Amino acid sequence: MPIISATSLFKIVGLNITTTTGNSYETSPHSNDILHDDDGKGITKQRMFTSYIVYIERENEYHAIHLSVCHCASSRGKLCALADMSVDPSNYEEVMINITHVPSAPLYIELQIKEYYYEDEIVRLYNNQDTCVLQFSKDGNDERTPYGFVYVNMDLFTSKITYG
């Protein structure tokens, strides 16, 4: 049985944004159907994917919320997306080295650290429940033709200033 911790109040310390090249598929201009070559194989292409790590802290206990998306094909030949969210322990040094963005103002969220895979999650500001900080869906609630996503509210962050 998975162990679930109680919901806790965390301060957002920073954010890391990276862009990596990954595989996707060519699709029809008018649908999400994957195009195929003369041998019947899906035509692949390179695409840029953005990944996020939101660093949070509570009483000198640090965690990293990892958010990413990748493309895949459904059994019916449609382009699909699967998203991933995990929360891992971190430490002060890792946070300070890796953050690329800092909060524009102090940000506090409530989060329940889980030891199993997240399916869907909406994290809002603790003191303003109308403001979404991040949102995640593994498959967009469609297992047959998944379209998962991640969202980070970039209006809440500014680029970290570094001095050479």
110, burial (CB in 10 Å: exposed 0-12, middle 13-18, buried 19+): middle
Q: What is the pTM of this model?
A: 0.89
* Mean of per-residue pLDDT scores for the chain: 91
Q: What is the pLDDT of residues 44-93, one digit of tens each?
A: 999 999 999 999 999 999 999 999 999 999 888 999 999 999 999 999 99
How far, in Å, CA of 142 to CA of 118, rounded? 15
